[in-house]
Homo-oligomer: A and B are copies of this chain.
């Protein structure tokens, strides 16, 4: 199965050069098979998803692809190319500060009105009409007479493509992080298919990210139809995969994640072959129990807790060195939490102002049983 290449224009730089995203398409052989959209590197420093797409494409060349698969690596050219010192300053628009991953369009569909008007349609027709409406709303955004922001233009262009797919995967990483998955509560069974041990179970509501922008309108439609006595599964799935740490390319590890994605695609019938998910213990945590720990004081940070390894209450998360306070108790101090937790990621720098987010930790972790 061979891939074809095209590109998507998502903006224009001050010098006039176009901002473009490379697109790779595998055309599936079965029109009834689900279609897929996978993007990577919307945050500029989170490059590993590109390596995963590379490995996934290499693998797919040997498989029988049934559903269309569109892959968009290097999805944020402005963010990726924005350096500040030795690192990529790719988390937010350098002009406005707006997080590139909070620029997706919130459709705020009036589901009741829309459904009332379209309820006579068959399921397939209904889904097709709804999808078209979502895509057209994105296109309308892009042609706003007062223009739209740089970040919104990028995001809505990507979103417009993503709305065309049945399965959407957004590949991110944390700063210094173990692998984890953002999964909507209604779709929790999917969490056992990827090669990712930790899953954040998120509410079925819009928080600004790509996955939410995709599944929320569909979940709302499904909920409303159910309330009207018409039952169907949420027709579209969307996940954010956090594939370890930023500023890191590791092709061997990328192959593992590509296989995990392949297992999910196999399960969904996107490829003809059977690919089993990796065998591993998997754990979940509700978003409300996912805690951000901010530096209670400034200083130099020795990160003690390893990401992906359970930490007992009272064990040091960090040590804070305050050499300006040498000779006092404050000079070198351990900081711990009062409850057991699972550290998922920590800050990238070893010196922090008061209030810097030092760690994100899961609390009240539960096992995700095999079904």
Contact = CB atoms under 8 A, between A and B. Distances in A.
A295 interface: yes
B87 A24 contact: no
Contacts of A351: 14-15, 44-45, 47, 80, 88, 247
A99 interface: yes
A98 interface: yes
A83 to B, nearest CB: 5
A66 B215 CA distance: 58
A321 B85 contact: no
A95 B86 contact: yes
B22 A295 contact: no
A8 interface: no
A64 interface: no
Interface stretch (A51-59, A195-203, A224-232): A51-59
A332 B78 CA distance: 22
A300 B83 CA distance: 14
A152 interface: yes
A347 B151 contact: no
A348 B353 CA distance: 22
Contact of A356 (B50, B95, B326, B327): B95
B80 A14 contact: yes
Interface string A342-356: 000001111111111
A362 to B, nearest CB: 13
B354 A150 contact: yes
Contacts of A348: 86-87, 247
A184 B242 CA distance: 43
A103 to B, nearest CB: 10
Interface string A70-94: 0001100110111111111111111
B356 A150 contact: yes
A255 to B, nearest CB: 12
Of the listed residues A11, A16, A20, A91, the one surrounded by the most CB atoms of chain B closer than 10 A to its CB is A16
Interface string A35-47: 0000000001101
A113 interface: no
A182 to B, nearest CB: 19
Contacts of A301: 249
B87 A86 contact: yes
Contact of A353 (B78, B145, B347): B78
A324 interface: yes
Contacts of A3: 326-327
Interface stretch (A119-127, A265-273, A286-294, A307-315): A286-294
A321 B86 contact: no
A175 interface: yes
Interface string A136-155: 00000000011111111100
Nearest to A93: B97
Contact of A97 (B81, B99, B145, B355): B99
Contact of A74 (B291, B324, B338): B324
A226 B131 CA distance: 46
A353 B249 contact: no
A62 interface: no
A298 B12 contact: yes
9 contacts: A3-B326, A13-B298, A14-B298, A15-B324, A16-B299, A74-B324, A78-B353, A82-B82, A85-B90
Given A45-B350, A146-B294, A147-B293, 8 more contacts: A50-B300, A51-B321, A80-B351, A81-B353, A86-B349, A87-B348, A150-B356, A250-B302
